[in-house]
Amino acid sequence: MSVNEVKIQPAPFDIEVRGTGHPGSRTFAIGNEDHTLGNSIRHVLMNTSKVEFAGYSVPHPSEPVVHIRVQTSKSKNEQDRERASDVLKEACETLVAQCDLVIDQLEEVLPSVKKNRMEVEDILRQIEDMPVDEEEQDDDNFDDEMMASE
């Protein structure tokens, strides 16, 4: 390991819930995750009407932790306000469903993509195997000679 290389240690926890006020406002510290999960969850949270604010941060690049802040929308009766933990759980389930959908769609089109790629490779091989016209080859040699003499 070089001097500048840092080996990131695993987080000492999987998830911590931070915040002591109303249950509709919490920060969730998720261990061994980064911007990939943070931004994805934030995006899903912001697309639900139950959420007033959602944001994430990675406190430090060498710390394998992402903080996700959730504040649910206020209702007429404060007791009816959604709990941040419930909304986060729903967002995680939605994200899993979206990922499953993408995987299903990729698996559906992958055989045709492979087939198209093989067809393109066959065409390229045919082009490479085509005989070269001697006149064109002489022109290519002339160009090469001109470049070498400069």
Q: What is the CATH number of the domain that holds 62?
A: 3.30.1360.10
* pTM exceeds cut of 0.85: no
Give the total residue count for the chain.
150
Kindly tell me the sign of the dihedral angle through the C-alpha atoms of 93, 94, 95, 100. positive
pLDDT per position as a tens digit, 68-87: 999 999 887 777 789 999 99
Where b means 16+ CB within 10 Å and e means fewer, 39-77 reads ebbbebbeeeebbeebebeeeeeeebbbbbbbbbeeeee
Is residue 26 in a domain? yes
- State which of 3-7, 74-78, 92-96, 139-143 shows the largest mean pLDDT: 92-96
Q: What is the arrangement of strands in the sheet containing 65-72, beginning at the earlier edge strand?
A: 15-18, 25-31, 65-72, 51-57
Segments forming the whole domain that contains residue 83 = 15-107
Number of domains within the chain: 1
In a domain, 125, yes or no: no
CB 13 within 8 A of CB 28: no
Answer whether residue 126 is part of any domain.
no
Q: Give per-residue pLDDT as tens, 49-69.
A: 999 999 999 999 888 999 999
Instruction: For residue 93, tell me if it sits in a domain.
Output: yes
- Per-residue pLDDT band for 132 (boundaries 50, 70, 90) equals confident
